[in-house]
Structure 1
């Protein structure tokens, strides 16, 4: 079906960074996009050929391959690709192929270059996606502490070779460190057992001390990955113990280096796309903590890290929807699966439950309900298997309340806006963060615009939403010092989610409501609000800086926990920070408190 000019503009309003452009600029830009249709298996462009411009997926799925034929990414609606090919004299550095029938929007190269030069926000967005930043799996930048195997298996020098072999077998490892207390005496590998015991006919009762490598080459945890690689190549070894202050703290193997170089969100998404069930997907999502650690250690900004992690949840959801349709047959009428909460905002970290809902086309019949109940249960159960645990508040499509035809959804929003009681405020806050994941996106586009217009025009509803948004406050004491949790299992810590990030998420949502802004991502909302009257440029800069610091601190805390083998959470002890870090974090909380106060007194546009 051809895409009308108005339809194209409405679509671009839902895509970042185009949603940050004003109406006149968007109307000027939209006609420059060319609509291209690609059938399943068609190559959109090929490695080494001239790039035509920037591609944007309207519908369908595109797979991008590197020069070795490895999958770089699998892209769906609203994803852009091809900008990397514009960085090397306009020659494609990847190959893109349609995985199913696609409609693509092509912004010619000259128009893309002009847009990058004239719109700083667009340039910042695509600059962050280009190669050359610290956000790569570089052996030159990754510290050993971030990827070494912690708590390595050890034995005493008096253990027999048979006993050591059994240890390696039981732990599925290829070496064992020989220690005396915390001190490293030597290392025994599978190669030692083969060449020094079996090949020489020594008895299996031979003590480890007789064949181990004494005083092996070691590195500190502060070394970088390239140090390990160079040591392995120079000394022809495959295992490097990690020793700090005379104490064994870890070990790095060739497998660890291979895994370091191979791990990426694109690889994980490709694995999910090939998974045949939720259990197989769970083996992929179990690697998310390691990916988070890698991304944070690689110097990526928080909005990049959370976007990449959310992409994995999106891919898992779409794969489960596809598997559900394979099992249940095609849907009787069109539907749309949407995410809300942190997934909807593309802000997932290492700790996430699931929040989702299902919109079904108007023509839904009573007999169709059973199909969608089975589909929702299949997907929600699958997400739980993948580690996205059931929502404690049952805000999921498996709950009939959140699995309704479009007519009912319109009634929901109309009722919440007309009668903004506390429950309505809470539900509206969640539902204003909706983002389409899989299905027919057209079911939501018109509804989103209608709801924003109706909600922003109702001053009583907006006032209630503002009041509700101020319930989460930064952790500041009477003298604006940092205030920690006073009791319970998280005593003397800061809740960087509910008292750190959430107050800014709430502010961003209010600004989006007041200015009728389409983005649901918090930082995108703040950027868009800076160009309106609801937020001054100076206020926007201060709030975005505060958000960046708090969100980055939260991710760094989770990465530190993962590095030490702990489950990530949101509770940071200020005592773990330096005086410098505490001071800046306090200043960030003060900025948020100031912006909340301005909003609460009807001064949301003041900085």
Structure 2
């Protein structure tokens, strides 16, 4: 048995890349443990005996609330998190059946990590996160607005005279004042307003600032990122951007504040798109997106940063097309909001994106008013297609009358889907829960979104159907150690990193948002909110976040690799293009995703 165990460990990554001397030194220290079915291996808070490797049998790992977070079989290892956090167990482990384990003592484990890079990289999954944190201070794509903004900006009342406002700005050596009434931001006054409106027009000194301020200015929240500030300033030609949280003014960011940081190279794209005169001009901008993706990936940006920035460009392109449609057909006869769903709605666009969108209109419109929006929607969708955001194969677009309706109709849609969760209703609800307003009057959507989440989460039959629907996309795990690939067709011997990789986590994130009535639409933000809201356990959620990051990053790097080769990006990754190290980690990620799918199916994904 010792010889077979020696051969087993020698073939297992990362032990297969250890020098012979290091491996044989390790072998002298390993211990063997056997456990009958149901036996405890260790409990949360206990001192760890070492790193465990399953030679035979099955092991379950549970968090502090006894929620299942991993189900492990032959070749899987566990216990490294406890060893790297002071040697105290952060989970509990039990033998699900008669099990034989190889145990590597703590001293040997830490020595291997210290002496061998491949071994350290295999277990130190936080390395990239730490690197990201270290870089975040210097990159607008990584820094939050809360870090950039000047807190507690100087304010004035709307009745303040322009003379007193100018004196206050001079005394404080600032270029703007936030105009506040009843603790609510109602406007912004800048030096340009004083010179271009007050002085140029010869207004008397006692003119109230309300006469020349910019009312209802555009704002961002403290959780936005630096590139959001830059993009909004570029698109709307702003020099000052108030920061508002829960309706309260908490800070302001100016162009001067951005000079400390290196501007993202997506800013040029946003600026060009916002000023494009024709659809051809917009298409010239979007044709460069694949090259931008390569640059962003090569610069070491994380997948969610890259996709957020690429989606920002799509948002600006959409808003410019909406403006072009208004220029062509005249002012809209009623309020509307244009919404994106799918990857654009989730701010997760990559190098391969079609368009998914819809229109919500205000109620009580005449047939003439409704008719206006038909060519309007067609104009925008045609423009998106010309810019590379091809027509949705499923016709999920505002050009389809079904997805161009008044608020009351949309309300009935959602209520019907929730009360009668057919297959089609589940599919449509899944798409529509990812809606995000892009242009128009956002207030038309606010109440609808909140009401739908509340109604849906309270309907146990609907959530059960949605959970089942969320499990339709399986992970590409083979029976043995390898990855299961597509068996036939033009994509033979590849893994679909979208349908089998990213989509299962997108589905899980959507379910957690539904269960917890969570507002975020972005998948990563949903997972973080689900952890914070205790919809899922912290340990299970963190593992799922790590798994999602690895799968999504691998997919993005595959697309960048194809683009560099002069090929069109796709989602079909040949595992042979990965190293043994990368394949091993990717398989571990799929095991985590499958485990969380199983927990959802068994009702253990939610904390009671």
Cross-structure match for 2:605: 604
1:541 aligns with 2:546: no
TM-score where L is the length of structure 1: 0.61
Pairs within 5 Å for 1:24-43:
none
Cross-structure match for 2:341: 340
1:323 aligns with 2:340: no
Alpha-carbon spacing, 1:447–1:54, altered in 2? closer, same or farther (3 Å): same
- The answer on whether the counterparts of 2:154 and 2:177 sit within 8 Å (CA) in structure 1 is no
- The answer on whether the counterparts of 2:152 and 2:250 sit within 8 Å (CA) in structure 1 is no
Alpha-carbon distance between aligned partners in 1 of 2:556 and 2:517, rounded to the nearest angstrom: 30
Alpha-carbon distance between aligned partners in 2 of 1:596 and 1:365, rounded to the nearest angstrom: 47
Aligned residue for 1:404, secondary structure, equals: strand
1:378 aligns with 2:368: no
Cross-structure match for 1:158: none
Cross-structure match for 1:363: 364
- The answer on whether the counterparts of 1:292 and 1:350 sit within 8 Å (CA) in structure 2 is yes
- The answer on whether the counterparts of 1:380 and 1:398 sit within 8 Å (CA) in structure 2 is yes
1:414 aligns with 2:415: yes
- The answer on whether the counterparts of 2:471 and 2:597 sit within 8 Å (CA) in structure 1 is yes
Cross-structure match for 2:526: 525
Cross-structure match for 1:293: 294
Alpha-carbon distance between aligned partners in 2 of 1:516 and 1:477, rounded to the nearest angstrom: 35
Structure 2 unaligned spans of 5+: 1-141, 143-150, 159-165, 190-216, 252-256
Alpha-carbon distance between aligned partners in 2 of 1:399 and 1:447, rounded to the nearest angstrom: 20
Pairs within 5 Å for 1:394-543:
394-479=395-480, 481-543=482-544
Question: How far 1:533 sits from its partner (Å)?
Answer: 2.9
- The answer on whether the counterparts of 1:84 and 1:131 sit within 8 Å (CA) in structure 2 is no
- The answer on whether the counterparts of 1:54 and 1:112 sit within 8 Å (CA) in structure 2 is no
Question: How far 1:382 sits from its partner (Å)?
Answer: 0.3
What per-residue deviation string (whole Å, max 9, x for no partner) do you get for residues 287-317 of structure 1?
0000000000001011100000000100000
Question: How far 1:526 sits from its partner (Å)?
Answer: 0.3
Cross-structure match for 2:562: 561
Alpha-carbon spacing, 1:574–1:428, altered in 2? closer, same or farther (3 Å): same
Question: How far 1:98 sits from its partner (Å)?
Answer: 6.0
Cross-structure match for 1:276: 277
Pairs within 5 Å for 1:235-254:
none
Alpha-carbon distance between aligned partners in 2 of 1:433 and 1:82, rounded to the nearest angstrom: 19
What per-residue deviation string (whole Å, max 9, x for no partner) do you get for residues 113-171 of structure 1?
9xxxxxxxxxxxxxxx99999xx69xxxxxxxxxxxxxxxxxxxxxxxxxxxxxxxxxx
Alpha-carbon distance between aligned partners in 2 of 1:371 and 1:95, rounded to the nearest angstrom: 31
1:393 aligns with 2:394: yes
- The answer on whether the counterparts of 2:346 and 2:436 sit within 8 Å (CA) in structure 1 is yes
Alpha-carbon distance between aligned partners in 1 of 2:585 and 2:376, rounded to the nearest angstrom: 47
Alpha-carbon spacing, 1:58–1:447, altered in 2? closer, same or farther (3 Å): farther
Alpha-carbon distance between aligned partners in 2 of 1:84 and 1:360, rounded to the nearest angstrom: 32
Question: How far 1:363 sits from its partner (Å)?
Answer: 3.1
Alpha-carbon distance between aligned partners in 2 of 1:462 and 1:597, rounded to the nearest angstrom: 16
Alpha-carbon distance between aligned partners in 1 of 2:356 and 2:267, rounded to the nearest angstrom: 23
1:552 aligns with 2:553: yes
Cross-structure match for 2:308: 307
- The answer on whether the counterparts of 2:353 and 2:390 sit within 8 Å (CA) in structure 1 is yes
Alpha-carbon distance between aligned partners in 1 of 2:292 and 2:374, rounded to the nearest angstrom: 34
Alpha-carbon distance between aligned partners in 1 of 2:156 and 2:591, rounded to the nearest angstrom: 48
Aligned residue for 1:562, secondary structure, equals: helix
Alpha-carbon distance between aligned partners in 2 of 1:542 and 1:49, rounded to the nearest angstrom: 49
Question: How far 1:484 sits from its partner (Å)?
Answer: 0.6
- The answer on whether the counterparts of 1:332 and 1:368 sit within 8 Å (CA) in structure 2 is yes
Aligned residue for 2:488, secondary structure, equals: coil
Moved over 2 A (4+): 30-37, 48-55, 57-62, 75-85, 94-108, 110-113, 129-133, 478-481
Alpha-carbon distance between aligned partners in 2 of 1:305 and 1:587, rounded to the nearest angstrom: 24
Aligned residue for 2:490, secondary structure, equals: coil
Alpha-carbon distance between aligned partners in 1 of 2:558 and 2:185, rounded to the nearest angstrom: 37
What per-residue deviation string (whole Å, max 9, x for no partner) do you get for residues 219-239 of structure 1?
xxxxxxxxxxxxxxxxxxxxx
Alpha-carbon distance between aligned partners in 2 of 1:61 and 1:317, rounded to the nearest angstrom: 27
Alpha-carbon distance between aligned partners in 2 of 1:98 and 1:313, rounded to the nearest angstrom: 16
What per-residue deviation string (whole Å, max 9, x for no partner) do you get for residues 172-204 of structure 1?
xxxxxxxxxxxxxxxxxxxxxxxxxxxxxxxxx
Aligned residue for 1:530, secondary structure, equals: helix
Question: How far 1:265 sits from its partner (Å)?
Answer: 1.3
What per-residue deviation string (whole Å, max 9, x for no partner) do you get for residues 502-545 of structure 1?
00000000000000001000000000000123200001100000
Aligned residue for 2:536, secondary structure, equals: coil
Alpha-carbon distance between aligned partners in 2 of 1:465 and 1:82, rounded to the nearest angstrom: 30
What per-residue deviation string (whole Å, max 9, x for no partner) do you get for residues 255-287 of structure 1?
xxxxxxxx8211011111111111110010000
Cross-structure match for 2:574: 573
1:265 aligns with 2:258: no
Pairs within 5 Å for 1:173-192:
none
Number of equivalenced pairs: 411
- The answer on whether the counterparts of 1:474 and 1:503 sit within 8 Å (CA) in structure 2 is yes
Aligned residue for 2:284, secondary structure, equals: helix
Pairs within 5 Å for 1:578-597:
578-597=579-598
What per-residue deviation string (whole Å, max 9, x for no partner) do you get for residues 572-603 of structure 1?
11000000000000000000000000000111
Aligned residue for 2:338, secondary structure, equals: strand
Structure 1 unaligned spans of 5+: 1-16, 18-29, 38-42, 63-74, 86-91, 114-128, 138-262
